[in-house]
Amino acid sequence: MLNVAQYHVAYGQSEVLHGLDFTVAPGEIIAIMGRNGMGKTTLMKSLMGIVPTSNGAAAVDGVDITTMKSYERVSKGIAYVPQGRMIFPTMTVQENIETGLTISGRSKVPGDIYDLFPVLLDMKGRRGGNLSGGQQQQLAIARALATNPKVLLLDEPTEGIQPSIIREMGRVLKRIRDERGLSIVVSEQVLSFALDVADRVLVLENGRLVHDEPRASVDEEKVSAFLSV
């Protein structure tokens, strides 16, 4: 569903990602692990068209998106839940989700989104900025799902969220995958969450993928060695 080949990303002269290759199958959840500064967020941003790709290619469902602008990528099926949520604080919960409907041109929020996140239905008239961190995270996921994506990118979704909500989020992500059959790429530092949701675990170290293994055979100690400072 998502094909990334020889993917290089640089800020000016300093290259951050040195040629990544990976594919995500339809309905697969992959976790990209790595410590701070290893390039996880850069990878997400460049897949979303926020940071330009310097070399290589990315394709969604066979369509090359490497040089597209963000909103064009959304129409090709990529959705993004950024680090720090980045919901629109002065807009209501419902309006926040509706921004995701721009591409499809629909005007009503589909009911299945509120089914996934019933708390958002209760709060649909509240301003996004007044929600708690966990609720904002759900809102950011709901907004991304409103674009009806084929590939969902989540950048450190567990950051700053309490453990019970993290477990709940793991369940929701798997439910989304099962119901919609979409592929999910989640970047993560928390190993337990990654092992909980992912079918495959990749480790990003200094801008290179140094480890790629299915969940079933993952050696926890080896992966956590990459994560420890």
Partner 1 sequence: MFADYSWTELGSIFAMQGFAGLILFSVFVLMALGLAIIFGQMGVINMAHGEFMILGAYVTYLCSNIVETYIPSLFGIYFFFAMALAFVAAGALGALVEWSLIRHLYKRPLDTLLATWGLSLILQQAYRSIFGAREVGVSLPNWLLGSVPLTDIIEIPINGIFVMVLTLVIAIGVYFILFRSRMGMQTRAVVQNRVMAGAVGINTEKVDRHTFALGCGIAGIAGSAFTMIGSTGPTAGQLYIVDTFLIVVFGGAASLLGTIASSFAISQAQSTMEFFLSGSMAKVLTLLTVVGILMLRPEGLFSLKIRR
Which residues contribute to the site for partner 1 (CB under 8 A)?
48-50, 69-71, 74-75, 79-80, 82, 86, 88-91, 95, 98-100, 102-103, 107, 127, 129-130, 143-144, 146-147
- Least CB distance to partner 1 at residue 82 (A): 7
**Least distance from C-beta 180 to partner 1, angstroms?**
17
Q: How far is the CB of 102 from partner 1 (least distance, A)?
A: 5
CB-nearer residue toward partner 1: 18 or 180 = 180
Nearer Cβ to partner 1 (143/177): 143
Q: CA 181 → CA 25, 28, 177, distances in Å? A: 10, 8, 5
Q: Concatenated DSSP letters for 163-229? A: HHHHHHHHHHHHHHHHHH--EEEEEES-HHHHHHH-SEEEEEETTEEEEEEEGGG--HHHHHHHH--
- CB 225 → partner 1: shortest distance, Å? 33
CB of 57 to partner 1, least distance (A): 20
Question: Which residue, 7 or 80, is less far from partner 1 as judged by CB?
Answer: 80
Question: CA-CA distance, 191 to 195, in Å (whole number)?
Answer: 6
Residue closer to partner 1 (CB basis): 44 or 209 = 44
Minimum distance from residue 96 beta carbon to partner 1 (Å)? 8
Bridge partners (DSSP) listed for residue 63: 60
Which of residues 51 and 201 has its CB atom nearest to partner 1 in the complex?
51
Q: Are 113 and 138 in contact (CB under 8 A)?
A: no
Contact (Cβ atoms closer than 8 angstroms) between residue 10 and residue 180:
no
Q: Compare residues 33 and 146 and give the one whose CB is closer to partner 1.
A: 146
Residue of 98, 101, 95, 140 whose CA lies nearest to 117: 140
Of 80, 83, 82, give the one whose Cα is nearest residue 100.
Answer: 80
- Concatenate the DSSP letters of all residues of 68-116 into one string: --HHHHHHTTEEEE-TT----TTSBHHHHHHHTTTTTT--SPPHHHHHH
